[in-house]
Chains A and B, each alone.
Chain A
Amino acid sequence: MKKMNQILWAMFLGSALVFTGCDDDADPEPENEPELITTINVTFTNTDDADDEVTFTASDEDGDGMGITYENGTLTRGATYDIEIEVLNETETPVEDVTEEIEEEDDEHQIYFGFPTTLFEDFSYENTDGNGDPLGTEAQVTVVEEATQGSFIVIIQHEPNKEANSDTTPWVYSDEIGGETDANVTFTVSVQDAEEPVTVVRQ
């Protein structure tokens, strides 16, 4: 009988411990994702004509979720453009400007670019990190005179090995550069001829 009591006690203690785990959990809150990138705006401004400003946008409203939408644009043949890149997290209120974080940690980031030589020429980085290596939130490029429609790739790389950049084309990403890809978007660039300057003929 004594033994039986021991067993009953053991079972009772055991079950008591098991069921103390059953208290209701508090409802979880959705996690804020400050590092999420939802939107990339690439603005081309004609260096000769500030009115010729074209913004290309890639947006994915919930980050890694259900696909991406693009807004593409048309550039002018033969024109030189300043490129400015803006990276946003629109899930935050107010909208978080991720570009600031990228520029603060400029040595740990680089924006790489990809385009056919039938579209762009004379590409140059317009900003650098503290070590004098390219950063790429600002750049400049010229549209080829005989340009045809083409794709334009923008890759935001975190912790790339900038030493591995190509000497002649430091904007081209290769596997040797490594790092983690924060964004990789491809825009379609249409081209048009420059409008003929209007000549007013006096008679």
Chain B
Amino acid sequence: MHHLCKVLLQLTLKDNLTLSAQYSFQFNRRSEFDIRRGGRSNIPALDLSLATQALDLDLEHKLGKNWQGGIGLNTSLQDNDNIPGTGVRPIVPNYNRFTQGVYWYERFIGKRFDLEAGIRYDYQYLEVATFVNRVELVKPDYQFSNASFTLGGTYYWSKYLTLQTNLTRAWRPPNISELFSQGLHHGSGIIEEGLLYENGQLNLEINPENEQAYKWVNTLTYQDTRFVLEASAYYNYIRNFIFLSPFDTRLTIRGAFPVFTYQQTDADFFGLDINGQYEVYKNFSSRSKVSLLYARDIVRDDVIIHMPPYRFDQSFTYQPKRLGKIKKPYFTLQSIYTARQFRAPRVVPISDITGLTNQQVSDIQAESVYDFIGPPSDYWLFNWQMGGEFSLSEEQSLQVGFSVENVFNIAYRDYLNRFRYYADDLGRNFIIRLQYNF
């Protein structure tokens, strides 16, 4: 069940001054069901009431032809509650969250170049009601605040070539599941523990830190009638980077499960993204994408777990205007190569951990981050997409799409998918799409 109500007010105060105000209220009632024992399958296993209100004010000004800017205010209030009576311990505690942001930005639009600068201050108040050892109610509250800024410029080198550079400082507080996750996730078969947990126990003395990022992005764009190239190189330094990492194994009455904990460290990221599109021949085009990322844990001078491996994506599309009765037909062959993540943590198999004493396990944990299994091998996937539109009458038309994912039914595991600990990823998948427009 979902309700949304929105009120938008826009006023032109003077020729060069516009105020917009938006208020929105969203209410969600989310009930999830599970197969349960004792005729309880029609009682939701997860029953949430989520209410969010937001007020956004923005005052925009223009100074002459070249200057524009604005100041504004974002306020939101969230009230998320578990509805009692599920008979299942809630995975996320009840919480109220109030956020307040204020910002100011100015932009100079020139003939050959643009400049932009902005600052922002955010405050968050989080109030949580949860239980220690199932029964003892605790109501911790947290305050997070920080300033962010952005500074950027675009230089129009020629009709075809644009250079862009951007320096930002951003932050985010840990979210509720990063703080309070505790217990077995039935979907992924792992036990997750938030930043506030220590050896499986909620420790309210722990002070979680904000994630703070400094990012410098440089983008070069070339565009002519047949060829588009966009190359973007970035460096990102994140203080108190939050990540989920294998930590231990735990024997429960449902069997032994791997335990993953949320941890924080300082990290470096160097990345390069290249997108190219080329019209090889009339109606026949090629599109290429390359994503490269190098990540490093500065504190431990080590790799970071679960970082996307190198990826190369190449597709060819044949898209004539018409093909007999079919309007806007398209045929696409896509091939994606994903490399093995060679910068993955060392492997300590579950079977090695279960027999160890607590001291031996802490020694392993202290040494460095580890994974229960190694990164999956590289893999090459092929996808096929085709479709078009049939006119049935003046107004009615039928859009048809047919696609095959993983055409060669390759067995592979995605390094970022937590199911990789248990099973292969999806095999060949046929998708048929029909859309009737009238």
Contact = CB atoms under 8 A, between A and B. Distances in A.
Interface stretch (A47-55, A62-70, A119-127, A144-152): A62-70
Interface stretch (B89-97, B111-119, B230-238, B331-339): B89-97
Interface residues of A, number: 51
B357 interface: no
Contacts of B137: 27-28, 30
B37 A184 contact: no
Contacts of A101: 37-38
Minimum-distance CB pairs A-B, first 4:
A184-B255, A60-B253, A101-B38, A14-B55
Contacts of A66: 200-201, 250
B217 interface: no
Given A31-B88, A35-B36, A183 B254 contact: yes
Given A10-B9, A67-B251, A17 B23 contact: yes
B248 to A, nearest CB: 11
Interface in B108-149: 129, 131, 133-135, 137, 139
Contact of A64 (B81, B87, B94, B254): B254
Contacts of A108: 37
Given A10-B21, A28-B137, A64-B252, A21 B51 contact: yes
Contacts, number: 127
B308 interface: no
Interface in A36-85: 37-38, 40, 58-60, 62-68
Interface residues of B, number: 49
B345 to A, nearest CB: 25
A18 B57 CA distance: 13
A182 B34 CA distance: 13
A22 B77 contact: yes
A67 B250 contact: yes
A183 B86 contact: no
B38 to A, nearest CB: 4
B53 interface: yes
B19 to A, nearest CB: 6
A14 B253 contact: no
B134 A62 contact: yes
A119 to B, nearest CB: 20
Contacts of B250: 66-67
Contacts of B11: 3, 6-7
Contact of A31 (B35, B38, B81, B86): B86
A34 interface: yes
A102 B39 CA distance: 11
A91 B255 contact: no
B79 A21 contact: yes
Interface in A114-153: none
14 contacts: A7-B11, A17-B55, A18-B77, A21-B53, A21-B77, A21-B79, A28-B81, A30-B131, A34-B40, A63-B252, A65-B200, A66-B201, A108-B37, A158-B35
Contacts of B135: 30
A21 B53 CA distance: 8
B38 A32 contact: no
Nearest to B34: A180
A25 interface: yes
